[in-house]
A and B are shown apart, each in its own frame.
Chain A
Amino acid sequence: MMDAGRHPKIKVLAGSELKSVSGYIGNFTAVVRQKARMVSSACTSCGDCVEVCPVSVPDEFEEGLGTRRAIYKPFPQAIPSLFLIDPDSCLGSNPVACGKCKEVCGAKAIDYAMRDEEIVLSVGTVVVATGAEPWDPTPNVEYGYSRHLDVLTSIEFERMLSAGGPTGGHIQRPSDGKEPRSIAYIQCVGSRTQDPCRGMTYCSSFCCMETVKTTLQVQEHIRGVKQTVYYMDIRAFGKGFEGLYTRSRADGVRYVHSIPSSVTRDAAGRLLCRIADPDTGELREEAHDMVILAVGVKPRTDSDAIQKLFTLSRTEDGFFLESHPKLKPVDTPTGGVFLAGFVESPKDIKDCVTQASAAASRASILMRKGEVTVEAITSSIDPGLCTACGQCAKVCPFHAITVDKEKGTATVVEALCQGCGTCGPECRFDAVSLRHFTDEQFFNQIDAALEEEPEKKVLAFCCNWCSYAGADFAGVSRMQYPGSVRIIRSMCSGRIDERFVLYAMEKRAGIVLVSGCHIGDCHYIDANKSTLTRVEKLQERMRAAGLDVGRLHRRWVSAAEGRRWADTIQELADRLPSVDPAEVSKAADWARDQRVKYEKRVEKHREKRRAPKPAMAGSGAGGAA
């Protein structure tokens, strides 16, 4: 910590929040708002101001176990090592009311008029290490955290153990200040539960070892103390952890494989943990002087803001999604942005440090090279056809399209574009195209696939990352399914234009399948939401035209769901014989009408554009290849 504060190459911007981030890999511009400390760098850390401040509020750093003044230093070793004024509790913004600290400050460092400052940073890479929040056990009412003073969280207990903490390192019951003779720990509070009120479904992974470590510390603090750990599993997974756990047991700490159902207080002020005996199942209450709740962690409440700022994805549990769980564990879908620490998932200190070094290394690889190659498969917009309606920009998951209403055109920032192609299908005037996955290429593939016996075929559009990979997995696992399916690959299911589906109908495909990643798993953040909307819309239109919607399907298949893929194809192939040729003809006619209408509209638009503004033709930079 000290090293970071003193390093000539590190500028610490504490009390600062990210306001906005723009740009792309190698070229980010971040706006940071630094809160006014109201104490300038002239501060000598003498502490005279604290002596005279009349305000006393709970100290956040001490988890509320101690108090601080309105002018304070967060903790003695804080970096930056400056005092600051908490504007919410300070009386001094009106000097008539107080102003005592300003009077005593010899360095004249206090300035109530100091204002928040905005700082603009230009950086090539970003490491997101925003951490997680400890679980607040108030909703776990059975443990009486808010009823009994002597029930503490593990974090609060850490402060109590610290020599620099609110009790000077003496363990004492908050209710009467006495040294406890018996301490109980309840594990997995806020972790490993299916009840969202009681916590998170995952294992927070550090709490077991934190408790084990704490029991050994307490053993040194209080001679002859009795300690009991109530647990469901002790996860001593890391290097040397099992040894530490064994030592704790050998030192006489009692480990009981049973989670208490409640903590109550008896007349004598002792805390009763109600448990079922792990061996006999017999019910009993065990009395302790203090109960420590080993709380897990949850994703930070400001994760949404961070997610938006850097266009990141999150896993189901709310932590940020890495590019690849094994091979790119610190990269994110946004180039140049890396993850370190709890923000990716809960872990222990060593793993945090390892991951941070990995993220730093990944970032420095980019910077060392000095330049970076960006995705070749990107979208482009033909300015001659674009009307600046902005539909494409609306669906772009990477905010890579900028719309200039005045110039009347939209442009793709190629360094931001990841090539999902979900913008294309939004365009009504055929102005958007995706390199390497052009409309014509798709049409050609559909033609070839449906040249012979189209009614006997299932034409499947699959995204590269999930459903195509799921079909690969079915192959690797040798799962047998009917040979009537023909797969057309795109990078993202968001690329699948309704015109492709209509063309397949026109070419008399028996059944059409549009397949992609499950919602939330999309490799282009949420481009597959557009897929969902588009297929549903098209189905609605088919229904309105009196057509059989059973010939158009949308299924999500993940890369691991080979079975699901094989079953889906089996199910659709089984439907093929019942597809009525008359229905196929009717749909083909309808689809042809739709195509002709579209082509007429685009042709008309083209002519209109061509006629009055011949000057536009020259400004085709970045236009369609």
Chain B
Amino acid sequence: MNAPQEEKGREPRVGVYVCQCGHNIGRVVDCEAVAKYASGLGGVVHASTNRYSCSEPGQNGMVKDIVEKKLDRVVIAACSPRLHEPTFRKMLETAGLNPYLLEMSNIREHCSWVHEDGKTATAKAKDLVHMAVERARLLEPQEAATVPVTQAAMVVGGGIAGIQAALDLADQGYQVYLVEKEPSIGGMMAKIDKTFPTMDCSI
């Protein structure tokens, strides 16, 4: 999964996918033209359009390409990364690539949806894809580290919320430290006489 060390220095093999998102992008942006433009960019070894990149067939096609064409950087020009970056990162993992070797180019929210004029939108989409490819060429695999978790919890504040949280954690078997500033736990709740709907005493 890690890009091996010996790969360093080798020109990356970038694959570019221009998503039509049905009509959402395809109606305004000339996706074929963008893909053609992308295929001429440095480092790009594959460029094509997708009807729906996030769909099952869309993802399967890309996984196939990644494996067959030995792609090691993937640029997907589609919607906002805030929407589908997690989706496509998982896809990269399926294809055996480190998930951080993905770069998304937002040609929907930032382009086809805000520029009615096809010429303007297509020109901008080309620029955005160009920018994404340039960034993708320098992407490196990243590994998230793991740290151990101590099996004990501290609850700060011994009012109704703190007491409930402490009990729930303790009932699961964790050691709980309930820290309260006042000389007794209970908080505001302990001062209340009866509570709705059971009208029982708060203590």
Contacts and interface: CB of A to CB of B under 8 A. Distances in A.
Given A14-B158, A134-B188, A483 B121 contact: yes
Please indicate which of the listed interface residues A158, A159, A356, A464 has the most CB atoms of chain B within 10 Å of its own CB.
A356
Interface in B109-148: 109-111, 113-117, 120-121, 123-124, 127-128, 130-131, 133-135, 137-140, 142-148
Interface stretch (B10-18, B51-59, B62-70, B166-174): B166-174
A410 to B, nearest CB: 19
A542 to B, nearest CB: 25
B195 A353 contact: no
A259 B186 CA distance: 33
A79 B185 contact: yes
A375 B159 CA distance: 33
Nearest to B194: A217
B130 A448 contact: yes
Given A367-B151, A475-B108, A4 B166 contact: yes
B1 interface: no
B82 A464 contact: yes
Contact of B191 (A61, A340, A341): A61
Interface string B20-35: 0000000000000000
B183 interface: yes
A451 interface: yes
Please indicate which of the listed interface residues A341, A449, A451 has the most CB atoms of chain B within 10 Å of its own CB.
A341
Interface string A475-494: 11011110100111100000
B160 interface: yes
B188 A131 contact: yes
A18 B179 contact: yes
Nearest to A243: B197
Nearest to A217: B194
A165 interface: yes
Contacts of A5: 185
A27 B195 CA distance: 38
A371 B149 contact: yes
Interface in A306-353: 306, 336, 340-343, 349, 352-353
B124 to A, nearest CB: 5
B175 interface: yes
Contacts of A352: 159-161, 164
A161 interface: yes
A127 B193 contact: no
A447 B194 CA distance: 69
Contact of A77 (B146, B151, B179, B203): B203
Interface in A289-320: 302, 306
B168 A158 contact: no
A89 interface: no
A15 B183 contact: yes
A28 interface: yes
A372 interface: yes
- Size category of the binding interface on chain B: 35 or more
A95 interface: no
Given A14-B158, A353-B164, A360-B169, A436 B100 contact: yes
A123 B185 contact: no
A373 B114 contact: no
B80 interface: yes
Nearest to A451: B130
Given A25-B147, A376-B142, A444-B135, A17 B114 contact: no
B51 to A, nearest CB: 20
Contact of B167 (A3, A15, A155, A369): A3
Contact of B153 (A61, A367, A444, A471): A367
A376 B94 CA distance: 19
A353 B193 contact: no
A129 B145 contact: no
Interface string A115-128: 00000011111111
B6 interface: no
Please indicate which of the listed interface residues B150, B167, B168, B190 has the most CB atoms of chain A within 10 Å of its own CB.
B150
A104 interface: no
A25 B194 CA distance: 39
Interface string A1-15: 101110111111111
B72 to A, nearest CB: 16
Contacts of A26: 147-150
A128 B160 contact: no
B49 interface: no
A357 B165 contact: yes
B96 interface: no
B124 A367 contact: no
A342 B147 contact: no
Given A371-B148, A449-B131, A10 B166 contact: yes
A475 B115 CA distance: 9
Interface string B67-90: 000000000000011100000000
Contacts of B123: 483
Contacts of A9: 169-171, 173-176
Please indicate which of the listed interface residues A129, A217, A372, A373 has the most CB atoms of chain B within 10 Å of its own CB.
A129
Given A126-B156, A131-B159, A464-B82, A27 B147 contact: yes
Contact of B161 (A121, A341, A369): A341
Given A486-B128, A487-B106, A481 B114 contact: yes
A375 B143 CA distance: 9
Interface of A: 1, 3-5, 7-18, 24-28, 30, 32, 37, 61, 63, 73-75, 77-80, 84, 121-131, 134, 155, 158-159, 161-163, 165, 209-210, 213, 217, 240-241, 244, 302, 306, 336, 340-343, 349, 352-353, 355-357, 359-361, 363-364, 366-377, 414-415, 435-436, 438, 440-441, 444-445, 447-449, 451-452, 464, 468-469, 471-472, 474-476, 478-481, 483, 486-489, 566, 625
19 contacts: A9-B176, A11-B175, A14-B182, A27-B149, A30-B154, A75-B184, A123-B153, A129-B156, A129-B158, A162-B193, A341-B162, A363-B165, A364-B172, A366-B149, A441-B135, A447-B134, A468-B82, A472-B82, A476-B109
Interface of B: 80-82, 100, 106, 108-111, 113-117, 120-121, 123-124, 127-128, 130-131, 133-135, 137-140, 142-197, 199, 203
The 9 closest A-B pairs by CB, nearest first: A341-B161, A475-B109, A360-B168, A26-B149, A356-B164, A124-B150, A78-B184, A129-B162, A9-B170
